[in-house]
Amino acid sequence: MLLTLLLPLIASASVDPHIPSHWTEGYVVANNIRIHYWRTGGDKPPMVLAHGYSDDGLCWTAVAKELEDRYDVILPDARGFGRTDSPSQSELADVQVADLAGFISALKLEKPILMGHSMGSSSVAWFSARYPDIPRASILVDPRLVPRSPEAQAARNSAPMENRVQAILDRNNMSYRELFDFQKERNPHFSFLELHFWALSKQQYHPNTAYRSTGDRPGMNELFAETSCPTLILKADDQGELRAGNEAVATGLKNGKLVHVEGAGHSVHRDQPKRFHTALNAFLEKL
């Protein structure tokens, strides 16, 4: 009898109180892995949000809460992040594109709007080019538009793999409070929700994500030439040659708009949430 009474308390204690109680979570099997997701629900147009590297689906919580009155917002954990299955140490560069395609098919989503940040923006851009008839629209949050120089890419790849793996493990083993305080010191303007889910996500991502392939990816120029759906690019407030380079690449979109969000760094939606939503809503209202 006592155990029967305690079970509801145990179950409720396992749910983060900062996740709205009406949101649901689930799993699908897609592209030979089990993918975990959260969903705001309702009979509304679907919107899938793809998170950045080292984050997970719930890192979009603050954004999803702003959108759920109009959209059924779906927050999947990418391969190796959150509660989705871990990657192997040898996967193709487009594996997340295939995962996204399988995920949309498994949930039978019709003409979803796709939005991705950083790593997720690369997946959404590649998906929109490969499957032009599926997205209703795509939103790319600070994608890399101008390729890195060969020297910068070489420097980025120079760190020994064992060091990259250890760096992930070190974060996995940090306490929630350590992670929260670390990010709050670096970005005191982030909201509590952003700091909270950022900290939790760093305890979960898998060391095998260090092996993910970054080679053989088409450039944004190539992808944009094959993209037909309405596309919004919300970029950091880049200046000078980089800003001009971003604008030049964005002209390759047949039906797109580039917005450099004033005062924003790489985490546009966290750095400037009001300006982010103003630009996003103006785009969504025209669909």
216-226 pLDDT, tens digit each: 789 999 999 99
Distance CA 138, CA 96 (A): 16
Rounded to two decimals, what is the model's pTM? 0.94
CA distances from 114 to 67, 149, 219, 269 (A): 13, 29, 19, 15
Where b means 16+ CB within 10 Å and e means fewer, 28-54 reads bebbebebbbbbbeeeebbbbbbbbeb
pLDDT range class, residue 14, cuts 50, 70, 90: low
pLDDT at residue number 213: 77
Q: What is the per-residue pLDDT for 258?
A: 98
Lowest-confidence region among 143-157, 162-176, 259-273: 143-157
Confidence class for position 214, pLDDT limits 50, 70, 90: low
- Helices and strands (H and E) in the chain: how many: 12, 8
User: Tokens representing 78?
Assistant: 């990418």
Token couple for 263? 């005062």
Residue pair 286/255 in contact by the 8 Å Cβ criterion = no
Q: Average pLDDT for residues 115-141, to the nearest whole number?
A: 98
pLDDT at 8 over 80: no
% of residues, the chain, pLDDT over 70: 94
State the CATH class of domain 20-149+217-285: alpha beta
Query: Tokens 């080292």 appear where?
Result: 54
Nearest Cα neighbor of 75 from 197, 253, 206 is 197
* Domain chopping of the chain, boundaries: 20-149+217-285
pLDDT of residue 159: 84
What are 155-179's pLDDT values in tens digits?
A: 777 889 999 999 999 999 999 999 9
